[in-house]
Structure 1
Amino acid sequence: MADLGADSKVDFAAHAVLHKWPSLANQRRPDRDSYQVSEGTLDECISVFMAKPAATRHLYEIRTAAQPPLVTEVLSPEHVIELSRLREFL
């Protein structure tokens, strides 16, 4: 992750939505749309995501307002895990 200077603050209270992709044999179905699982703050959505079994996390993503440079509008599972680590660090 990039250098976490003063300009790299993350607003964990920002509105966010956790989405899940339909799956077949534990693989995303690109022919289907994702659906909302949880809505709340970025912090809450990260907590809900982290409570999911590690083997299924690749089926989820978090959507929120971009907070450059650390937060994009759609957060991949890998990105959510990194933000979870950052949150614990702070």
Structure 2
Amino acid sequence: MKAIYNDQVIAESDNTVIVEGNHYFPSDSVKKEFLTPSNTHTTCAWKGVASYYNVVVNGETATDAAWYYPDPSTLAEGIKGHLAFWNGVEVIK
């Protein structure tokens, strides 16, 4: 799987975890130079509190387009250390 924004591959892995239709990429498969911290946090009833990154490529920003669970619930332990993408980031095979 690949995550692409503004024609740039920002993550690539053959070992994503699929939860609720979203591919969660292992942290070491993500090019962190394209991520900037966001102050956004949301809460999922069963996964816990999510934190977000903005994705920035060639001066274009996809706000809150990457998210992760720094301390997921026991039910969601499989996505610890993984990031998922949306909001303009295309995830393809």
TM-score grouping bracket, smaller chain normalisation: under 0.3
Structure number having the greater strand percentage: 2
Could you state the TM-score of these two structures normalised by the residue count of structure 1? 0.28
Structure number having the greater helix percentage: 1
CA radius of gyration, larger in: 1
